[in-house]
Chains A and B, each alone.
Chain A
């Protein structure tokens, strides 16, 4: 299935969880925040949140800024 990950098309196996997606991005256990269809998904719910085709996922981190 296809989702939109950080603004880009992204191919994913059906029924993938958010945790699995983060793992595939090399971000397991990293300090990131996730938004699914404009709603924050708390870290405690990453494992139980299943992605659907067409979902818009944003994964953000802290970077240098003023």
Chain B
């Protein structure tokens, strides 16, 4: 097998994925744009939210799952909007019923609505209950290496530290913590939240993250479908650069052209 032919699947809870880009489905203009952006991203794992149906809803109204079919994508229902462990567990159980027993979930328990920072105490409580209840938990967390290790030890199938605040687009603000999390981890570490543009995604992958989960960076771009494609390329480029092993950083130049046999004689 040559260097370019190595298989490099992302494995989550025993299942292989070819794409390391995970995307959300919120904040798009309409369902057509959602479908087009997600197709362009090449993502196989796609997050959805669970919400009350509108009582006065038009019965013919298109549904998200008509565009993002559970037969094509691995749906990752989230617990966005939950501020307690009990609400998050309840939401996951509804999602499992909604998706016919599908047990892969994205756990996020939020602390406040200004920062959407995770409430770690409630997150740990919810993770414990969900793992015991048979869920495969991919967990949104802060970039604290000890918390990441604790969540892994509890049986979460992927740990997803934030790069920066949800929807902020500020990139990875503490790469050193992400690096420590990566060094300790046996499960996939997926940067979730904070990515603003393609280079942010590439940086996460170059560091050795298993994947990146994003929503706003694509949906809030001027041209979401084009940005989705850019993100696909950034994730692939970053991953390949990681696998290739970057050159060491040096403080002084190192000529690329040989210095021997030069016709120029230097004084």
Residues of chain A touching chain B, judged by Cβ–Cβ distance below 8 Å, are 5-8, 10, 25-27, 30-35, 38, 40, 42-43, 58-66
Contact = CB atoms under 8 A, between A and B. Distances in A.
Of B34, B97, B167, most A-chain CB atoms within 10 Å: B97
B24 A65 contact: yes
SS class, residues of chain B in contact with chain A: mixed
Contacts of B34: 64
Given A7-B52, A58-B52, A60-B52, A66 B97 contact: no
Interface residues of B, number: 37
Contact of B49 (A34, A38, A64): A64
Given A26-B59, A27-B59, A42-B97, A60 B51 contact: yes
Contacts, number: 102
12 contacts: A35-B90, A35-B94, A38-B90, A60-B94, A60-B98, A61-B63, A61-B64, A62-B65, A63-B50, A64-B25, A64-B28, A66-B27
B48 A65 contact: yes
The 4 A-B residue pairs with the shortest CB-CB distance in the complex, in nearest-first order: A65-B49, A66-B24, A66-B215, A26-B59
Interface of B: 24-28, 34, 47-53, 55, 57-59, 63-65, 75, 77-78, 80, 90, 93-95, 97-99, 166-167, 213-216
Contacts of B213: 66
Given A59-B52, A66-B215, A66-B216, A33 B98 contact: yes
Given A64-B34, A66-B49, 5 more contacts: A40-B93, A62-B49, A62-B64, A62-B95, A66-B26
Of B24, B47, B50, B94, most A-chain CB atoms within 10 Å: B94
